[in-house]
Amino acid sequence: MADHTPHEASTGPDGEPLVVETDEDRRRVERRSGQTLPAVCFATSVVAALALAVVYAEGGQNQAEGVLLAVALGGIGVGLVVWAKRFMPEGPDTEPRGRIGSTAEDRAAFVADLETGAHTFGRRHLLTKMLVGAVAALGVAALFPIRSLGPRPGRGLKSTPYRDGVRLVTEDGDPVRPDDPGVGGVITAFPEGHVGDETAQTLLIRLEPGQLEPEPGREDWTVDGVVAYSKVCTHAGCPVGLYQEQRGELLCPCHQSTFDVLHGATPVFGPATRPLPQLPLGTDADGNLIATGDFSGPVGPGFWDINT
């Protein structure tokens, strides 16, 4: 800043002065007192940076690193702002805005050139059309590689690995027996060989005898009071994990959709519109729970052709 020489009145493109430096501005630039604060700021910054190096070398400590870095940066920040406020020309300065649109002649000449060229293109109707067609075809061709990103959306949305006779297993892969869920208890189960499968996650809930009012046609879908529903919320796919035993309701933690377990898991509150699909249960020769078919409908959130 010692190099500063008073700015000669500079001029804009139209010749009017851009910068008028006032006596006050000159006084600020030449001022002698008041340097202490910015100097202390910069010094603090240096100290903090050195301390940061020490902390890092000693094994690092995240809070200390954050604070020291903040002090090192903040010292420079405060120093600069104070410096500017105390020792730099303050304005207000003014500059002409100038015009944004071009002059009428420039604009006319530009438009004329543009139109001449467009006319040259336009004279060859056939070629123009062929060119447009070729570029369009190329655009369509460019879409094909995108298709490689993923498979055709398939049956995965509408079916799960459950088939007649598939055993249900826990998250650890153990078979489930009908008395495994205690009364009021819930177990998360999967089809054997598909533990962790997102679409096939199943809730097994034991109800008191006679509590469940089965949907028509599903009278024999339970085993010893154990009923199985898809765990994937029909709203937006979160796992419906909170079972409120007294009310016989399943609550989805994401947007609080609530499903009535006693009445086919129909939604009773929240944004969900479709019931949780039910899984028909049976037992195999060893008395383990098996599915006797796939879920009663597509699991999880809805989509365009869910009903086809």
Distances (CA, A) of 94 to 16, 22, 41, 267: 11, 13, 32, 66
The reply on whether position 191 binds another protein by CB under 8 A is no
What is the nearest approach in angstroms of another protein to the Cβ of residue 96? 6
How far apart CA 172 and CA 194 sit, in angstroms, is 11
Give the chain's end-to-end CA distance (angstroms, integer).
Answer: 77
> Using the rule CB under 8 A, is 181 a contact of another protein?
no
Asked whether the beta carbons of 271 and 161 are under 8 A apart, the reply is no
For ligand FES, the binding residue among 49, 78, 238, 306 (CB under 6 A) is 238
Contacts 24+ apart (CB under 8 A), 189-196: 189/228, 189/289, 191/160, 191/161, 191/162, 191/166, 191/167, 191/291, 192/166, 192/167, 192/168, 193/161, 194/161, 195/169, 195/171, 196/171
CB of 306 to ligand FES, least distance (A): 16
Half-sphere exposure of 150 (CA within 13 A, CB side): 4
* 241 makes contact with another protein (CB under 8 A): yes
Part of the chain binding another protein (CB under 8 A), chosen from 72-80, 109-117, 126-134, 206-214: 72-80
Choosing from 89, 191, 264, 277, the residue that interacts with another protein (CB under 8 A) is 89
Residue 67 contact partner, candidates ligand FES, another protein, none, CB within 5 to 8 A by sort of partner: another protein
Per-residue binder mask for ligand FES (CB under 6 A), 266-305, x = binder: ----xxx---------------------------------
CA 72 to chain CA centroid, Å, is 33
Backbone angles phi, psi at 40, to 5 degrees: -60, -40
Size of the residue set binding another protein (CB under 8 A): 88
33 binds another protein (CB under 8 A): no
- To another protein, the closest distance from the beta carbon of 120 in angstroms equals 29
Q: Which stretch binds another protein (CB under 8 A): 81-89, 132-140, 177-185, 216-224?
A: 81-89
The Cα angle at residue 109 between residues 106 and 111, in degrees rounded to 5? 105
If one asks whether residue 210 binds another protein (CB under 8 A), the answer comes out as no
Picked from ligand FES, another protein, none, the partner binding residue 116 (CB below 5 to 8 A depending on kind) is: none
State which residue, 210 or 304, has the beta carbon closest to another protein.
304
Name the DSSP class of 6: P
Binders of ligand FES among residues 83 to 142 (CB under 6 A) are none
Integer Cα distance of 288 and 176 in angstroms: 6
C-beta of residue 241 within 8 angstroms of C-beta of residue 231: yes
- Under the criterion CB under 8 A, does residue 206 sit at the interface with another protein? no
Residue 255 in contact with ligand FES, rule: CB under 6 A: yes
Q: Does 35 bind another protein (CB under 8 A)?
A: no
Asked whether position 139 contacts another protein by CB under 8 A, the answer is no
Radius of gyration in angstroms for the set of CA atoms belonging to the chain, rounded to a whole number: 38
Measured between alpha carbons, how far is residue 150 from residues 14, 145, 147, 174, 274 in Å? 61, 10, 6, 33, 28
Q: With CB under 6 A as the contact rule, which of the stretches 30-38, 44-52, 206-214, 249-257 interacts with ligand FES?
A: 249-257
The least CB distance from residue 94 to ligand FES, in Å, is 57
Residues 257-286 that bind another protein (CB under 8 A): 257, 267, 269-273
